[in-house]
Amino acid sequence: MLRRQFLKEHRSVRYQYLLMTGELTGHLNQVDQEAREQVETLVKQMVEKQGVTEQLKMQDQMKWVGLMNNIKACAEEIVLKEIIYV
């Protein structure tokens, strides 16, 4: 949805082309899949780098949840800037 809105507002020529050729849905599905995979990869990398483990989850669940929420938000922000809004 974000990619569609971005194309419509900021890349109207490309949006119209994709729409008229029937490739818009395929493009949006591909971008969605890429974005989800990239978020998953980034989260795994960040979790490993920051040392967020299952042991931490058992010891201090609130800290673990906070760290995971922060990591996920950071990963999503990176993906928005690198994949969605391009």
Q: What is the DSSP string of 50-72?
A: HT--HHHHHH-HHHHHHHHHHHH
Give 18-77 pLDDT, tens digit per residue. Answer: 999 999 999 999 999 999 999 999 999 999 999 999 999 999 999 999 999 999 999 999
Measured between alpha carbons, how far is 68 from 22 in angstroms, rounded to an integer? 39
- Nearest-5° angle of CA 61, CA 75, CA 39? 100
State the pTM of this model: 0.84
